[in-house]
Amino acid sequence: MKKKLLILCVDGLDSNKVNKLNLKMKYNLKLLIPNNCCIYENGVYIPHTFTIWKSIFSKKTNKDVRLFINKSILSKFDDLLHRIGNMLKDKNMNKYPFTFPIYIKEKNILKEYNSINWNIPTISIDYIYYLYDWQDFKKYCLHEYNLFKTFAFGSMLSVFDVIAIYTRIIDVYEHIHIDTENIYKEIFLIANELSKKVNVLLISDHATNEEGEHLKYSYFGSNIPIKGNSILDIKENIKEYLENGEYQ
């Protein structure tokens, strides 16, 4: 019987920091992020969460995902939302966070198999974009991270062949300058422990450094052989295992 495949999606996980902390899975790769998976802003290509997660699971770039093709529209959209959030805060109307889902109804590798996914930007129907004060947002992210861990350990009991789940805690904590070393260590502890029962892919959409900057590379680790140079190669690794993976 083939082992289940658990895909741990961790926003902002930095392969350089992984090495610095001497953390690893059995197989580890540093993947590049192509320019067509970024938004172009002020002369620089910047990795963008919504574009990249869609690209990882569908191999479609921002040229294919029409929602994100126009950088100026996306930037104005983000700017408008933050203006609304600040306006509500100024008027003391921020008792409740300003939230909305971001979901693109398109084919992706997860839909081709007996799978379930939770909280992945543009992939999961339950993903929520949370616009609020950063200090309050960290409470939400901690709650989300606790759910992430619960679902990770629950994957061993799942009836699904593929379980993909997401947490943004590292990215958010780096943006507000909260130390993430212990979270890094815990995530690798979870990934390596669970790999004794299920096969695990641990992936990030980009690196986030301690200044909160998004960098153009990501981490890809697993207990099963993996290959690739770009985040666009992750989909083929998923397919390769599900179609031709070793049976235990």
CATH of the domain at 153: 3.40.720
Q: What pLDDT shows up at residue 155?
A: 87
Residue at 14 is within a domain: yes
**3-class DSSP state of 56:** helix
Q: How many domains does the chain have?
A: 1
**3-class DSSP state of 219:** strand
- Quote the crossing angle between the two packed helices 234-244 and 49-58, to the nearest 10°: 30
Residues 240, 188, 203, CA angle at the centre, nearest 5°? 40
**3-class DSSP state of 55:** helix
Residue at 37 is within a domain: no
Cα–Cα distance between 223 and 228 in angstroms, integer?
15
Residue at 161 is within a domain: yes
Residue at 40 is within a domain: no
Per-residue pLDDT of the chain (248 residues; tens, 9 = 90+): 568 999 999 999 999 999 999 999 999 999 999 988 888 878 888 888 888 998 899 876 655 444 443 444 444 455 555 555 555 555 444 444 445 445 556 688 898 999 999 999 888 887 776 655 666 778 888 999 999 999 999 988 888 999 999 999 999 999 889 999 999 999 999 999 999 999 999 999 999 988 888 999 999 999 999 999 999 999 999 999 988 865 34
What pTM was estimated for this model as a whole? 0.84
Q: What pLDDT shows up at residue 44?
A: 86
Residue at 220 is within a domain: yes
State how far Cα 162 lies from the chain centre: 16
Residue at 194 is within a domain: yes
Residue at 22 is within a domain: yes
Residue at 39 is within a domain: no
Cα–Cα distance between 76 and 115 in angstroms, integer?
35
Structural domain including 83 reads 5-29+47-244
